[in-house]
Structures are given as C-alpha cells and as structure tokens.
A = this chain, B = another copy of it.
C-alpha cells in the first residue's frame, strides 16, 4: 500500500549500480542526533533518496524523523533537530529498491518497535535473501507489516522472540535471516552493531569523546571528529553503552566475503577499508589496467567523478598525460523534478560537458569505473566524438558486470546487463569505440592488495557480480525464477 507522494526519478544515472544504504549510530554524547545527521551527510553517496533518524532521551522517550531528500536539506534545521534530543541515536540513508512502484515514507528506516521490555530501533544496510519467505510466515502468525522493506522482518522477529532483553532478541532474530547485512540498532540506552557472518557490507567502530560511533564508512567518522577504532568483524555483534563495547559472535563462523565493489565504486575515496585507502586502491586499479591493457593515446581522461583515481593511476603508469576532458556540472543535484519533455531529452548533457578545445584532434583514453547497461557510455562517446576527438578508448576499472547483486545493491535484472549478453568485442562495437578493455578479476584482486590475485577455491571477496559465484544462496530470487550459474 503506497502513500501518495511527489514523483522522484533519476533518468540520467541509469547505467550505474546503486548502493542501497548507509547506516550511522552514536551513543554517549549530548544531542547524539546532531552527530548522526553529520555522519549521514558524509554517507549521502550510499543513498540519496531518503533519510531517517531515531533518538532517545529519558524525558521524552523515542523520537524519530524520516524525510525524502538530502540530509543537508532536512536534518540540519534547528527546528527539526531540537525534536530529536538525547544521548543515543541512529540513522539511515537509502536508495529506493528496484521494483518498488514508488517511494513511500513508511519504507524509510530506521524501523521502530515497542516490545514488552521497551522499544528498539533498527537500521540496515544490505539485503535479506530470505525476506519474502520470512514475511509470509510472519503475516500468517498475525504480524502487521508497515513497509515493503525486507528490513522490517528483523523488528518483527525481535518482537516475537521469547528472550528477555533486546540484544538477545536481536540475536534470535538474526539467526533466522539470510543474506548480507550491516545493522545499527538502539535501545533506550544501548547502541548495537552487527555484520552478517560473511561481512559483505562494511561497518566500522569509532570513538568520539566519551562516546562511541558506528558507521558504514570511516569518512563519516572524520566529519564528526571521531577516532577510527576498528572494523566490526564479520559475524560480530557489538553492544555499546557509555561503559564500553561488548563483543558477541552469535553466528556460525563463515569465510569473509567483503564486497569488492565497495573498493571499485561504492565507498568514498577518502574512506579506509581493511587499513587501506580506497582512493589508493582505485589508483592502483588504474595502474594495473594500464599494465594489462596498454594503448597509444594523447590524453587519459576520467569519466567524472568516479573514474578519477583510476585515471590518475593509468596516467602515472602509462606516462600519458592526465587531463579533465569531461567537466561535470556541480549544480546538477539529484535530478530534475517533473522535467519538461525537452529537458528529459537532454540526458547526460545536463550533467557533463566536453572540454572541446582540449579534446579536439586527440586520441583519448576514457577511464570509467564500470559498464552496467552501457547507455551512458554511449552518450559520452558521442559527446567526445562530436567535440572532434580522433580516437576514443574506454578502459574500465572493474571486470564485466555480468550478474546481478542480491546483497543490497540495486542492479538491473540479468538480461539488461550488457556483459551478460555480449562479449568484450561485441560491447566495443555496441558502444562504438576504438577499443574497450576491462581490468581482469586477478588484476582487481592485486590492486586490492591480494598479491597473488584471486583464490580459485574460496575467493577473498564477494565478487558475484563479476563471477556469478554467490556466497549466500539468493533463496527468494530463486523462487522467483532466477537461475544460478551452473557449477563448473
């Protein structure tokens, strides 16, 4: 059931994968919600459609605010933030999920439940692969769902648990779910964080004054001046009060399968994953790419902004000068609301413009992070050729994206992934460029610090979108007809 709402859409970014969420939580500081707002602002790249914050203070109990739009437009007004007092707060930013017919405010996390021993709020980054089955079961037993979100299952499972305290109820609930999840949650006094046994999605712990913070990425610790402490480990659940951090491991241990696409595209370049700068990994991808797929040219240009670090690396390794051949309009914002027909047809031009005087007569290498549907790549190629480039060579900082992600990333169905239906040469011809090369999976692993490349038997990362090897069986999707890759 959808509450009526303004129409939002993003007609120009159709060929990028979208992270679905960022989470952030703070305990032990005055006006924790203010810190959460800043943290979410730093995580805005992980979800631009909507955001929510829940806070608790002893006088007023739980308060929440959930809004469509950017954090900076909603959660910065004193009038709103004053309604969210107290020393514990969690928050969430999100994209809309593929398939939902329209965004509704009820789907905006965190979710809240009042239990017999007090309330709890939960926010979640990832995707539960058995959510449909769980939902059906819960409805049959009389649970009433308020949203279409898979995450709401968690709070209902907690409500039905027979455990006597909330952290144990959460353990109970999480033992029923499958998939990828990084969770921040709160009770009246505690902040909690959990990562799934494979640790597919990131979650880090920071220290701020006498308090603590949990965040999807380190860049959000930086913005509030928190000190990075460590990553929450795969399968770990931390329960944090002002007194300190308790660590639990409620799940059966599993091999770690961190999402390699966080390195390629999702995470912010100033974040640190596994002790390593994301920016540096991306630059190194460019270095590997230059080694694997050299080409003679006059300029190396990034497709802004995500291709920039790899383009810098490519230039440094190849010796071909780095240049800003495509300029991004800083005022593009999220999208045009209710655009006129004419504007709808402008497409990528509203966002990007070619630096004509620079490009004219040149052989240009364009470095982009990935090719999903290929729509935008074709338009960019057209713009570059219109500006008089002599040759256009695409170099892609990830292997061909041939499989959908079921772990919290919004991917088109498999048939719409260019690499699922075409070979590299076919893609080159389809895009109409002089050459098109992707980094190899081994090269990507090397750039990410695995010197020997990818382990055959049990890869160090979740790379299902490239390899089709899914660490967790996507049960709901299989029931809907998705076919896994045949075992080799």
Question: What residues of B have a CB within 8 angstroms of the CB of A338 in the complex?
Answer: 76-79
Surface stretch bound by B, among A200-208, A254-262, A353-361: A353-361
Smallest beta-carbon distance A400→chain B, Å:
27
The answer to the question of A71 belonging to the interface, with a C-beta cut-off of 8 Å to chain B, is yes
Surface stretch bound by B, among A37-45, A407-415, A436-444, A472-480: A37-45
Contact: A340 with B81, CB < 8 Å?
A: yes
Question: What residues of B have a CB within 8 angstroms of the CB of A119 in the complex?
Answer: 1
A-side interface residues, number (CB < 8 Å): 99
List which A306-359 residues lie within 8 A (CB) of chain B: 308-309, 312, 316, 321-324, 327, 329-333, 336-343, 346, 349-350, 353-358
Question: What residues of B have a CB within 8 angstroms of the CB of A355 in the complex?
Answer: 269-270, 277, 279
Question: What residues of B have a CB within 8 angstroms of the CB of A136 in the complex?
Answer: 116
The answer to the question of A166 belonging to the interface, with a C-beta cut-off of 8 Å to chain B, is no
Question: What residues of B have a CB within 8 angstroms of the CB of A268 in the complex?
Answer: 327, 353
Smallest beta-carbon distance A76→chain B, Å:
4
Contact: B4 with A80, CB < 8 Å?
A: yes
Contact: A142 with B156, CB < 8 Å?
A: yes
Contact: A3 with B79, CB < 8 Å?
A: no
Smallest beta-carbon distance A10→chain B, Å:
13
The contact of A219 among B219, B342, B353, by CB within 8 Å, is: B353
Give 23 pairs: A residue, B residue, CB < 8 Å, sorted on A: A1-B64, A2-B83, A3-B63, A4-B65, A44-B329, A76-B338, A77-B339, A78-B341, A79-B338, A114-B139, A116-B139, A141-B160, A143-B144, A144-B156, A219-B353, A222-B353, A222-B354, A222-B356, A270-B353, A279-B327, A279-B358, A312-B324, A333-B333
Bound CA–CA A338/B65 (angstroms): 17
Contact: A142 with B114, CB < 8 Å?
A: no
The answer to the question of A280 belonging to the interface, with a C-beta cut-off of 8 Å to chain B, is yes
Question: What residues of B have a CB within 8 angstroms of the CB of A159 in the complex?
Answer: 139, 142-144
